[in-house]
Structure 1
Amino acid sequence: MRHAEEVTFGGSGLDRAAELRGDIPAMAALMQAPETRTLALWRGKLLISDDAACRLPLDHPVLAEARGTPLFLGREESGAAIFAHDLSGWEPGDGQAEPGGFTDTSEQHHPACAEDEVFVELRALLTRLAPRDAELAATARGLFSWHATHGFCARCGAESDVTQAGWQRVCRSCGASHFPRTDPVVIMLITRGNSCLLGRSHGWPEGMYSCLAGFVEPGETLEAAVRREVHEESGVRVGPVRYLASQPWPFPASLMIGCHGLAESDEIEIDPVEIETARWVSREELVTAFAGEHPGLHPARRGSIAHFLLRNWLADRLD
């Protein structure tokens, strides 16, 4: 698919400079360089100003709240290093609590930051961030989420230490190395003639539908995963399958692998444990839904790969 990397969190050409991660003197020099900058995240939220990620100098006072090891994300085009700090230990004042729910629209302001600098949920920024900011933020959030849940060795249970500038953990006891986890998930644009198959999960906002999706199992190809997941969730059988595009999805650690499958049946029989409902939607209905004029159908949120796949299908741009 020629437009694959236009998807949110798609490749922005970031130089991840992996060769520097294990070079302790080089990392120390970068941490001292005046041009080095860092992103600040609080409980997965990104510090932004005017819809751009704040790039803070390493002596910024808000970083006194940081906990754990800063992550090395890479180098900008200028050659300046970019890191990420986790400020999740900070407790905001009254009126700044997270409301929860499907989408967190709250914003938090730290007193050490400028008035226009606030922490915002990354999913609310999907269509607002520039590609480079989006890739940096997704990388940082995914890494911090992994560290938060992998502090102990999966082999022996002993505590592990952060190494490789945040890209590895090593067990103190048995020496086992552990690397950031990414879970492969197929997400499917399933079509049959002039219609596509959409479903909705339990707890989604009223009327919201999206492409079916599911985790790839061990020993399974992407094509087989597409056919299995669609049949398990909807009862629809799928024939030819092809890859279209992928999207890092750091909520907490998935790689969404977008595929196009051609349905060989159209009768729907859902698994009520997996999804709430599924339906065939015509191109005409989907156009109306994208325009916000359909009374009972709202497509996947903008910035998601599902929205990207559906919009490109409507525009005949799946080549």
Structure 2
Amino acid sequence: MRTAEQVTFGGSGLNRAAELRGDATALAGARAHPGARCLPVWRGKPLLTGEGFSELALLRLDDPLFSAGYDGALPGLLFLGLKEDGAPRFAADLSGWTPEEVDLAALGTFFDPSEQRHPDLPDDTAFVELRRVMTRLSPRDAELAATAKAVMEWHRSHRFCAACGAESGPVQAGWQRDCPACGTHHFPRTDPVVIMLITHGDAVLMGRSPNWPEGMYSLLAGFIEPGETLEAAVRREVFEEAGVQVGRVGYLASQPWPFPASLMFGCYGEAISREIRIDENEIEDAIWVSRSDMMGAFAGEHPTIKPARKGAIAHFLLQNWLADTLD
């Protein structure tokens, strides 16, 4: 797929400079670099600025915010990589900060509209839910934010060694946790998921989860199981959720999805028939949508169907299917 890396969170070409992560001297030099900047993150929300919160608010490493004792699950800096001019980029987990007013019920929801503003930062900055602004960010800003969010979530949920239960600690500039008791090394987790553009003639198979906004339909998706290929996972998931048999399967594009830590493998598949038999434990509904109806949904003109949100790989794949640019 020629446009594969144009998907949100992909394709910025960030130099992650992994060879520097275990080099204390090189990391010290990176922190001292005059162009070094750090992205503050609060409970998974990056600090943003610009019109409509369209840019990351990157701070100098000597900003007092980073010495205020707000450390979250990842104490210290996470090294993200280098810009083309060699300027280092870091992120800091400031989840230990407690805003004066915060809507705890909104945090982590499907669409969190709340904004948290730190009193010591400029008025035009705020911690904002990434899903809300992901399509406004540049490819580089989106990749930096997604990487920081995913790694910090891993630190939050993997504090203890899976081998012996002792508390582990971060090393390798935030890209590893080591257990002091048994010596086991742990690495950031990424869960592989298939998401499928299943077609039959001029129609595409769409499904919806019961907790989604009213009228929203998206492509079927599911986690890949151990010992399973992408192709087998596509066929299994579609049959389990919608009872539809799938023949030919192929790969289209991938998307890092840091909510909390998935890698979405976008695939296409050709259905053998249009007979649907949903598993209500998996999804609420599944329907075949014609190309013309999907075009109406994308235009906001369909009376009942709302497409997957912009920024998600489902929206990306459907948009390319409508434009006949999948290959």
TM bucket, shorter chain: over 0.9
**Greater alpha carbon shift after TM alignment, 134-143 vs 101-110:** 101-110
Name the TM-score, length of structure 2 as normaliser.
Answer: 0.96
Question: Deviation string for 1:59-113 (max 9, x for gaps)?
Answer: 1122224411210000011101100001111111126656254200111110111
Matched, 1:59 2:67: no
- Aligned-partner Cα distance in 1 for 2:69–2:203: 52
Q: Gaps (5+ residues) in structure 1?
A: none
Residue identity (%) = 63
Counterpart amino acid of residue 60 in structure 2 = P
SS in 1 for 2:152: helix
**Greater alpha carbon shift after TM alignment, 289-298 vs 93-102:** 93-102
Question: Deviation string for 1:251-281 (max 9, x for gaps)?
Answer: 0000000000000011100000000000000
Cα pair 1:96 1:108 within 8 Å, conserved: no
Structure 1 pair 82/213, CA: closer, same or farther in 2 (3 Å)?
Answer: same
Matched, 1:159 2:163: no
- Aligned-partner Cα distance in 1 for 2:254–2:101: 40
> Match of 2:6?
6
Counterpart amino acid of residue 172 in structure 2 = Q
> Match of 2:152?
144
SS in 1 for 2:247: strand
SS in 2 for 1:185: strand
**CA deviation after TM superposition for structure 1 residue 163, in Å:** 0.7
Matched, 1:91 2:80: no
SS in 1 for 2:154: helix
Matched, 1:131 2:139: yes
- Aligned-partner Cα distance in 1 for 2:84–2:69: 29
Listed as ranges, the matches of 1:70-85 within 5 Å are 70-85=77-92
Q: Gaps (5+ residues) in structure 2?
A: none
**CA deviation after TM superposition for structure 1 residue 31, in Å:** 1.6
Listed as ranges, the matches of 1:33-44 within 5 Å are 33-44=33-44
Name the TM-score, length of structure 1 as normaliser.
Answer: 0.98
Listed as ranges, the matches of 1:104-253 within 5 Å are 104-253=112-261
**CA deviation after TM superposition for structure 1 residue 172, in Å:** 0.4
- Aligned-partner Cα distance in 2 for 1:182–1:249: 9
- CA-based RMSD of the aligned residues comes to 1.1
- Aligned-partner Cα distance in 1 for 2:248–2:227: 19
**Greater alpha carbon shift after TM alignment, 23-32 vs 270-279:** 23-32
**CA deviation after TM superposition for structure 1 residue 161, in Å:** 1.2
SS in 2 for 1:292: coil
